[in-house]
Structure 1
Amino acid sequence: MSTPVETNVTALARRWRLEVNLGTDAVPDWQLCPGVTEFTPASEPNIEDSSSYDSDGWTENTKTAQSWELSVTINRKINDSTKVYHPVHEAIRLAHFAYGSANYVHLRYMDRNGLPEAYEGRAIPTWAESGGEYTDLGQVEITFTGDGPLSPITNPLVTP
């Protein structure tokens, strides 16, 4: 009987899947955000120096807050026969121009291969068309600035 060989491979950046809730909190309707070409999550702690004379000259630190942000570039998707943009792209774009509760996007992102990493939160989107030359694709750079926690969740793509 042979011993199984452990194979470790490097995860790919394209493992991320972004979904936006087009429903409500009570009845969520999670929809894929298609056309993602770049995906950069960030979560920064605010760390304050909490040193005192008692630390014998060693620096002590305390985490006092946390912020998060998600930067995404998308290829803008359209239905050219009905002349409409993809509904998830439109929901994000319209939230960018709104105020109050309409300015927030409820989103989640997870490892599309079923690994356990997955997160959910609410964010304010910044929508910026990339522009470009006549040969370029229609792309948009979106920055989601977190409002409140970015919570680790069970990956909904994990199969039991």
Structure 2
Amino acid sequence: MSTPTETALARRWRLEINMGTVDVPDWQLCPAITEFQWTAEPNHEDDTSYDTDGWAENTKTGQAWEVTATFNRKVSADSTVYSTVHEAIRAAFFAYGDASKNHMRFMDRNGAPEAYEGMALPAWEPQGGEATALDQIQCTWTGTGPLTPITNPMAA
């Protein structure tokens, strides 16, 4: 194995939404992403006792995850139909219960090992702009349940 020498690019991330069911998934690309970030913040609680000789101890008691992506809104040539994936995200934003969640996965598009999957609640935020601006959406998904490391489907 060679020693890595190149810096990975931020655009390596690929986001897909399951347009099928959990049992019969139909993973489809969320097109036109211009910015992507994710976090998985752990919750640490102070677990210090007299037995630690004054050294602090902490215990991980939970974890929350979030994905934020900005994407250009894609529309048909006659401006009447949007991307089906974008529409599935928007529809989930306005729904309740199971329909309010997107089953999503994201991975390194070059096939490197990083890849994750989970269910999340989208927050759909049109970005507006001046007359010459592109129609962009910023969406923040709040994880509900685990963010699971998976084998990267883009891996050779």
Does TM-score exceed 0.5, indicating one fold? yes
The AA in structure 2 aligned to 1:16 is: W
Whether 1:117 and 2:114 are equivalent positions in the alignment is yes
Specify whether residues 6 and 66 from structure 1 end up closer, same or farther in structure 2 by C-alpha distance, changes over 3 A only: closer
> Runs of 4 or more off by more than 4 Å in structure 1?
none
Runs (5+) with no aligned partner, structure 2: none
1:108 deviation in Å?
0.1
- Whether 1:60 and 2:66 are equivalent positions in the alignment is no
Query: d(CA) in 1 for partners of 2:150 and 2:108?
Result: 11
Match of 1:71 among 61, 68, 71: 68
Provide Cα deviations, 1:112-133, integer angstroms capped at 9, x if missing partner.
0010100000000000000010
Q: % of aligned pairs identical?
A: 61
TM-score by length of 1: 0.94
Tell me the equivalent position of 1:15: 12
> Secondary structure at the residue paired with 1:156?
coil
How big is the shift at 1:19?
Answer: 0.2
- Name 2:140's counterpart in structure 1: 143
- Per-residue CA shift, 1:53-107, capped at 9, x if unaligned? 0010000000000000001100001112371000000000000000011000000
Q: Which amino acid aligns with 2:76?
A: N
1:89 equivalent in alignment to 2:89: no
Q: Distance in 2 between matches of 1:63 and 1:14?
A: 31
TM-score with structure 2 setting the length: 0.97
Larger Cα-atom Rg = 1
Equivalent in 100, 105, 123 of residue 126 of structure 1: 123
1:51 matched to 2:48? The reply is yes
Paired residue type of 1:81: D
